[in-house]
Amino acid sequence: MKQIIEYQNKKVLVLGLAKSGFSAAKLLHDLGALVTVNDGKPFEENPEAQDLLVLGIKVVTGSHPIELLDEDFALMVKNPGIPYSHPLVEKALAKGLPIITEIELAYQIAECKIVGITGTNGKTTTTTMIGEILNAGMKQGKALLAGNIGYPASTVAQNAQSQDIMVTELSSFQLMGIQSFHPEIAVITNIFSAHLDYHGSQAEYEKAKWHIQENMTEKDYLILNWDQELLQALAKKTKATVIPFSSTQVVPGAYQKDGKLYFNDEFIMVSNTLGVPGNHNIENALAAIAVAKLRGISNDDIKETLQNFSGVPHRTQFVGTINDRRFFNDSKATNILATEMALGGFDHEKLILLAGGLDRGNSFDDLVPSLVGLKAMIVFGETKDKLAKAAQDANVSVVEFSENAETAVAKAYALSEVGDTILLSPANASWDQYKNFEIRGERFIAAVNALKK
């Protein structure tokens, strides 16, 4: 990593731990900063804070005392999940204290080039596709996954070599805290309505996503979803060289035509040989193809990787086949839009959908058109009655209730026939019954595996 000196003997406040805050605090300490960490979790329940204290880093846990900012800090490194409406953040802004996220710190020390991926949906799948394709075709170095995908960017950057590439998933929360962050290639998969409770408005959310290209130049490449008018309009406002991708029209970049995927009129592969189903995954693959071609990866390496791509855990993940019934885990589908995208990839006449979860007060009227033609639905959780009504409105002939995602598996299997697909795509958050969507997906997978015994 680059041995920068700008933080030596500077007082830095790291607000919020988790993986990224822990990594940032350790890195700043190693760079000679005088670090104070503030985290809301009590010290006795906070192993990260305990580890940092052993290193000689000052830790303040259990609350967020506003008087912390009475010290003469030069910088705040904020955990992305902490909103700018937080009292400490508001006071820091009022004092004119610079606030960054850990992703900016990673960029400052990284010796290697960076590919940045953001968007409302498809970030993790696209990031993973890109990483696998690059690693299949790179002659030197490695593609290293980083960022919102679960690997703190500042940790990855410390270990990256100059010939490596950091393939970095970026949330809108992370992008609000950049100053000099500058990817060589950036991807925006799509922009829909999301995180309005954090950003306050759709305009502010879009602004945060657009930050990804803020420091890019004409020598850099910005890959945009040309099927969205919003991104076509934004394309006129960047200095970067724009490379479009589209699943519906021929563009000067990556596109689908007559069931085949191309890059600049160069045939890459047949669409339906992609290892994961759905038009949304076609879009993800097109974005990944664009990055790969810009990095000089061969068509054969791209094709082979995408054909063997089995998905990201909990994101339309292929779990296996039992007696000619296919099972897919899309537990990450915590909203209607994500489930609509998943449903678009399957033959409804042979599809049994498992859905349900936390009731946030919304109806499922918008989901009804995507449910038409389903073979059956198994519903569970707090929203089971609402989803049953949506299924009724869509004229789904078979609707059954289940206790949870795992008990729904046996019910779905009993309804299924040879050639059918059973899909968990809940359209709801998991918190009514599970700590997170990962646990929900793991329980589903365990129930599927139990059928094999």
**Phi then psi for 160, rounded to 5 degrees?**
-75, 140
**Binding residue per annotation — 311?**
no
Paired with 315 in beta bridges are 312
* pLDDT one-digit tens code per residue, 111-124: 999 999 999 989 99
Domain boundaries, the chain: 11-100, 108-307, 317-451
* pLDDT score for 148: 93
Residues whose CB falls within 8 Å of the CB of residue 305, separated by 6 or more in sequence, listed in order: 129, 132, 133, 136
**Binding residue per annotation — 128?**
no
* pLDDT score for 195: 83
11-100 CATH choice from 3.10.450.630, 3.40.50.720, 3.40.50.360, 3.40.50.1440: 3.40.50.720
317-451 CATH choice from 3.30.70.380, 3.90.1300.10, 3.90.550.10, 3.90.190.20: 3.90.190.20
* Residue ranges of the chain with per-residue pLDDT less than 50: none
* pLDDT score for 196: 86
**Binding residue per annotation — 119?**
yes
Q: CB-side exposure of 252: number of CA atoms within 13 Å? A: 4
* pLDDT score for 310: 86
**Binding residue per annotation — 395?**
no
Chain-centroid distance, C-alpha 185:
17
**Binding residue per annotation — 219?**
no
Are 40 and 63 contacting, i.e. CB atoms less than 8 angstroms apart? Answer: yes
* pLDDT one-digit tens code per residue, 91-143: 999 999 999 999 999 999 999 999 999 999 899 999 999 999 999 999 999 99
**Binding residue per annotation — 124?**
yes
* pLDDT score for 453: 76
CATH superfamily of 108-307: Mur-like, catalytic domain (3.40.1190.10)
* pLDDT score for 228: 97
**Binding residue per annotation — 101?**
no
* pLDDT score for 311: 87
Integer-rounded Cα Rg, in Å, for the chain is 23
